[in-house]
Structure 1
Amino acid sequence: MSYGASAYARVSQAGMSPREAEAAVLVKAAARLQTVQTDWDNQKGVLAEALNFNQKVWAVIAGAAAEPDCPLPEPIKASIVQLSVFVFRRMVDTLIEPEADKLSALISINHNLAAGLRS
């Protein structure tokens, strides 16, 4: 069984809807970034790991929005893709020139999107 399939199997066993699962993963990515940001001097070694996890989450989000059979209206799909581009650029910029403040936008975006998925 693939990693994605086993992850969804665990989610369905936990009684979460797909939207709740997506929100939970976004919050988990935000929490990892927040941990690095809060203790910046001691967490720089795990910055790449936190950004990599966030990148994987956003790759799935961007890919789903770009699918031709995605049921979302075109303007929303386009906005998600544009937001994904911003997120990817910010992550690369943070890897190239690490600064704790650069994580704030990523954390905020993840939390806001998770809140939208839950409502």
Structure 2
Amino acid sequence: MSYAANAYARTAQAALTPREAEAAVLIKAASRLQTIQDNWDAQQTTLNDALGFNRKVWTLLASAATEPQAPLPEELKTSMARLGAFVFSRTLDAMVAPSADKLTALIRINRELASGLRGNP
């Protein structure tokens, strides 16, 4: 059964549009952070891995959105650059001085952006 479930998941992922794929990755990152926040005492040891994953996601998103050839209005490129800078700053802060409360903004940003990418602002 596990093999069939994995095969289905791979097929479903291949059928995603780029926007849906970006939304799915953002939700995955938010879910990992939410799990840690909800179970802080038990999950804190996985914090740096989850923050590292979120940082990688945002590195890709911010880089793609701010490329000169990206088909986005300049105002949106600037907003994505600022949002990316905030995410990187908050991530570093959460790594240096861990606190469950510091994850809230990262979780919300990821969920809100994913919602927008899915067309559900």
TM-score, normalised to structure 2, is 0.87
Structure of greater Rg: 2
Aligned length: 110
Gaps of 5+ in 1: 1-9
Q: CA deviation at 1:14?
A: 3.1
- 1:49 maps onto 2:72 in alignment: no
* Distance of aligned partners of 1:60 and 1:11 in 2 relative to their CA distance in 1, 3 Å threshold: farther
* TM-score of the pair, normalised by structure 1: 0.89
Shift of 1:44: 1.0
2:13–2:21 contact (8 Å) kept in structure 1: no
Could you give the per-residue CA deviations for residues 6-47 of structure 1, whole angstroms, max 9, x where no partner exists?
xxxx57863111100000000000000000000000111100
State the identity %.
Answer: 57
- SS of equivalent residue, structure 1 residue 75: helix
Specify the code of the residue in structure 1 equivalent to 2:114.
A
RMSD (CA atoms) = 1.3
Runs of 4+ in structure 1 deviating by more than 2 angstroms, as ranges, are 10-14
For structure 2, which runs of at least 5 residues remain unmatched after alignment? Answer: 1-9
- Contact 2:33/2:107 (CA < 8 Å) preserved in 1? yes
